[in-house]
Structure 1
Amino acid sequence: MRPLVLLSGWGCDARIWRPLAAHWPNRREAGLKVSTPDWPGYATRPALDDPENLAGLAEAMAADLPEDAVWVGWSLGGLLAAALLDHLPTPRGLVLLGMGAHFCHPDGVSHEDLATFRTAFRRDPATTRAHFLRWQLRGEPSPRAAHRQLLELLGPEPAAPSATLAAGLGQLARLDHRHSLAAPPCPIWRIVGEHDPLLPPSDRDAADVRLADAGHCPMLSQPRALAECLAAIAEERAP
């Protein structure tokens, strides 16, 4: 079996991956084993005492991130998965989906933009999260339809407590893997939606795969294309 571990991003739990379920190749024939563990604090998984502690995060996630798997981290999940390369046995590969080696960029979401968002989140977490869910969908072919689908998947309530979400925003601001990913311990693939509004053009242009007619959430707008691409990587075929 070829394990493929899908890791969600900020404000979204593992239910975000459900649209891919109908589009995987025959997993028995392909030898795929797909899992979608939640991060600590998300859904029903207990939060960490210190959500920003990467060593504690690695300990909590160790059983979910085996070394024979390809880890797929979407958005913040990509930054966290890359950080865990320093704490866990090296996987077969890492896919950064909708994320570069770091998040903030003057041509994408600037440090000032993120600081403003963090201030707004401290004042009103629920409204700010709702705004973000809409904001990240601007690059999808039908943002309104994608938003309806997202709400149907996740429901109206936050996927994690405010302390966990606030820690995630801090990690978006702080984590920078440009040095470590320049000489990575395992193969790295970068997949982006060609219209991702959160990424600078340089990150989109440098990606290994650009999914057409997709933004930051290709699991909603292009689930078949994304599933096929991830399956090809898990099966050790070029995407």
Structure 2
Amino acid sequence: MSRLVLLSGWGCDARIWQPLAAHWPDRLETGFEVTPPDWPGYATRPALDDPEDLTALAEAMAADLPQDAVWVGWSLGGLLAAALLDHLPAPRGLVLLGMGARFCHPDGVSHENLATFRSAFRRDPPATRAHFLRWQLRGEPSPRTAHRQLLELLGPEPTASSATLAAGLGQLAEIDNSARLAAPPCPVWRIVGEQDPLLPPSVHDAADVRLADAGHCPMLSQPLALAECLAAIAEERTP
């Protein structure tokens, strides 16, 4: 049995992965499992008392992140998955989708950019989240189509509390996995959309796979290519 665990990013619950469902290879129907658990505080999952506590996060997610699986973390989900390598037994592999060792970078989203965004979020959380969802889609072939699809999947209102979302912004600002990923306890694959507007050139250049005609949300714009790439990794083939 091969397993993929799909971990969503900031402001998005597990429904973001639904476009991949129609594109998994037929051979994966047996002997293969794909699970998209929600992070604590998203959808119907209870929030943590301290959403920024990585130890508590590891305890809450332990059953969802088994050793025999490949963890696929998108955006903030990738940042958190890599950080949890210090707290949980190592998986078969880790996929960082649309994320480097850290989120903020002078040539990408700077600390100043994120600080401005956090300030806006404190003033108006719903409007700021809605702005972010549009902003991250700039690199997709059709941002309007991708935005319409995103709203159809997630709805207009966030399923996470403002406290959970604020904690996620804090983690984007503070977590740096450079040391963890310099000597990782498992294989690590890096996948990016070629037109991802959130990533610096150095992350694009270091990627193992660059998905054509995709930005930060390839599950929306290139679900077939992404599903095939993840299936190859799960089956220990070259993606």
Query: Is the 1:71–1:91 Cα contact (8 Å) retained in structure 2?
Result: yes
| TM-score after normalising by structure 2 | 0.99
2: distance between equivalents of 1:120 and 1:27?
A: 47
Classify 1:30/1:226 alpha carbon distance in 2 versus 1 (closer, same or farther; 3 Å). farther
What SS does the corresponding residue of 1:55 show, helix, strand or coil?
Answer: helix
| Superposition map of 1:72-221 within 5 A | 72-221=72-221
Query: Is the 1:3–1:32 Cα contact (8 Å) retained in structure 2?
Result: yes
Query: Is the 1:139–1:216 Cα contact (8 Å) retained in structure 2?
Result: yes
Aligned pair count reads 239
Classify 1:49/1:29 alpha carbon distance in 2 versus 1 (closer, same or farther; 3 Å). closer
Regions of 4+ moved over 2 Å: 27-31
Query: Is the 1:27–1:33 Cα contact (8 Å) retained in structure 2?
Result: no
Bigger mean CA deviation after superposition, 150-159 or 26-35: 26-35
Partner amino acid for 1:111?
Answer: H
Q: Counterpart in 2 of 1:231? A: 231
Deviation track 1:10-35 (CA, whole Å, cap 9, x = no partner) reads 00000000000000012546632000
Deviation at 1:51, TM superposition (A): 0.1
Query: Is the 1:32–1:231 Cα contact (8 Å) retained in structure 2?
Result: no
Query: Is the 1:15–1:154 Cα contact (8 Å) retained in structure 2?
Result: yes
| TM-score after normalising by structure 1 | 0.99
Q: 1:54 aligned to 2:51?
A: no
Bigger mean CA deviation after superposition, 135-144 or 19-28: 19-28
1: distance between equivalents of 2:130 and 2:33?
A: 33
Query: Is the 2:83–2:180 Cα contact (8 Å) retained in structure 1?
Result: no
Deviation at 1:180, TM superposition (A): 1.2
Q: Counterpart in 1 of 2:31? A: 31
Deviation track 1:128-180 (CA, whole Å, cap 9, x = no partner) reads 00000000000000000000000000001112000000000000000001111
Query: Is the 1:30–1:235 Cα contact (8 Å) retained in structure 2?
Result: no
1: distance between equivalents of 2:234 and 2:171?
A: 27
What SS does the corresponding residue of 1:85 show, helix, strand or coil?
Answer: helix
Deviation track 1:169-205 (CA, whole Å, cap 9, x = no partner) reads 0000000011110110000000000000000011011
1: distance between equivalents of 2:13 and 2:58?
A: 18
Partner amino acid for 1:16?
Answer: I
Q: Counterpart in 2 of 1:14? A: 14
Deviation track 1:28-53 (CA, whole Å, cap 9, x = no partner) reads 46632000000000000000000000
2: distance between equivalents of 1:53 and 1:180?
A: 18
Q: Counterpart in 2 of 1:2? A: 2
1: distance between equivalents of 2:129 and 2:178?
A: 28
2: distance between equivalents of 1:27 and 1:33?
A: 11
Classify 1:101/1:30 alpha carbon distance in 2 versus 1 (closer, same or farther; 3 Å). farther
Deviation track 1:201-228 (CA, whole Å, cap 9, x = no partner) reads 1101110000000000000000000000
Identity %: 85
